[in-house]
Amino acid sequence: MFTEEVRLPVSATDTYGHYDPALEIDDVLVLEDGQPQQIRSIQHLPANVLLLLDTGNELGLKDTRLTRDVAIRIISALHTDNRIAIMQFATRPELLQSWTTDRSAIDKVLKTKLNSGKSSRLANAIAAASDQFKDTPAGTRHIVLITDGVNAPGGQVTMTSALKQLNSMQVSVHIVSYTVLARQTLQTQTKVIRGGDGVQRDANPASNPVANGDPTLPPGTTRTPGFKIVTIDTDVAMRRKRKEYERATRASEEQLVAIAEESGGRILLPDSIESLLSQVESISRDIGSQYVITYRPTRPLASAKSGEYRRVEVASKRVGLHLRSRQGYVVP
């Protein structure tokens, strides 16, 4: 049944970033395409959270064990009434756990069913994840995406098509991005050798002037060979592939940031494992701070063109209250 109603997820926090438990209709201004809307209700509802885990690891730069640890930390910080589903993807998406509130079942899946694959087809995974929300209430839909965002070619779905499908489901996307970590790992994988003249020298050259390599030098001194750092291209094809991957992560990072901002979610771009593990629970807190705001659009949805996009802005009318929501929606 078609309904003339928009359900908008809105994160409400105080000055310190903590969940505001007292949000009321008079605290919020909603604009749709620049026009103020009459809010009908504000509710804090249990969330439906799908963890979408990238386990592709063609270059050995993504650690499935780290992804598992991150997922467990996020889930442990979510409210117990949230429903959770788990999907992993490499060349194809695989639903490991359908919607459940059983934390022991989720924990078991994460510890026993995650498997590393080859290259990752993110577009296929986004489309498959979007399908999981068809029977969930609008405004409660969340994806937590852990990935480097690099989309391997050859998938059945284009990224443009997948993102349109994602937007039509009005899912909030929260992202843990491996892009910065992956680039740093690439920089440390350069093979280094020390270059010199190759002559073996006595540990105490003063006691052996001949072994010193130059008997004309006075005892107690040595002629230190010049050392330099050189890069050895042991595999030109792999070196080229890594450079291509580094460029791909820069492009994917821009796209991931745009996805999070458009959907009203957030993105983490940690530069170390320690930073990553210390930040991930903020995603759970962000999901827990979201309300569902309902309004009836002043321009009827029934009059919208097929695939019409409407821009949405949400503003706080109360000092100290900070609101964040998606930037728009596709009329269903």
Spatial separation of the C-alpha atoms in residues 287 and 298, rounded to whole Å: 28
Spatial separation of the C-alpha atoms in residues 157 and 309, rounded to whole Å: 21
Provide the pLDDT for residue 238.
Answer: 79
Provide the pLDDT for residue 217.
Answer: 54
Provide the pLDDT for residue 193.
Answer: 35
Spatial separation of the C-alpha atoms in residues 89 and 138, rounded to whole Å: 25
Provide the pLDDT for residue 215.
Answer: 54
If we measure between CA atoms, which residue out of 120, 118, 113, 187 comes closest to residue 148? 120
* 3-class SS letters over the chain: CCCCCEEEEEEEECCCCCECCCCCHHHEEEEECCEECCEEEEECCCCEEEEEEECECCCCCCCHHHHHHHHHHHHHCCCCCCEEEEEEECCCEEEEEEEECCHHHHHHHHHHCCCCECCCCHHHHHHHHHHCCCCCCCCCEEEEEEECCCCCCCCCCCHHHHHHHHHHCCCEEEEEECHHHHHHHHHCCCCEEECCCCCCCCCCHHHCCCCCCCCCCCCCCCCCCCCCEEECCCCHHHHHHHHHHHHHHHHHHHHHHHHHHHHCCCEECCCCHHHHHHHCHHHHHHHHCEEEEEECCCCCHHHCCCCCEEEEEEEECCCCCEEEECCEEECC
The residues facing 147 across adjacent strands are 177
Report the half-sphere exposure of 212 (CA within 13 A, side-chain side): 17
State the distance between the two ends of the chain, measured CA to CA, in whole angstroms. 12
pTM for the model stands at 0.84
Give me the sheet containing 172-177, strands edge to edge: 93-100, 83-89, 48-54, 141-147, 172-177, 267-268
Task: Return the CATH class of domain 42-186+249-302.
Answer: alpha beta
State the CB neighbour count (10 A cutoff) for residue 304. 15
pLDDT in tens, 130-145: 999 999 999 999 999 9
The CA angle 33-39-44, to the nearest 5 degrees, is 115
Provide the pLDDT for residue 62.
Answer: 83
Provide the pLDDT for residue 102.
Answer: 97
Domain ranges across the chain? 42-186+249-302
pLDDT in tens, 225-262: 444 445 555 578 878 888 999 999 999 999 999 999 99
Report the half-sphere exposure of 273 (CA within 13 A, side-chain side): 8
pLDDT in tens, 97-120: 999 999 999 999 999 999 998 889
pLDDT in tens, 288-309: 999 999 999 999 999 999 889 9
Identify whether the C-beta of residue 194 lies closer than 8 Å to the C-beta of residue 188: no
Range 47-74 average pLDDT? 92
Q: Please give the C-alpha separations between residue 198 and each of 207, 214, 226, in angstroms, as whole numbers.
A: 20, 15, 11
Q: Does residue 57 surpass a pLDDT of 90?
A: no
Range 207-217 average pLDDT? 49
Identify whether the C-beta of residue 143 lies closer than 8 Å to the C-beta of residue 172: yes
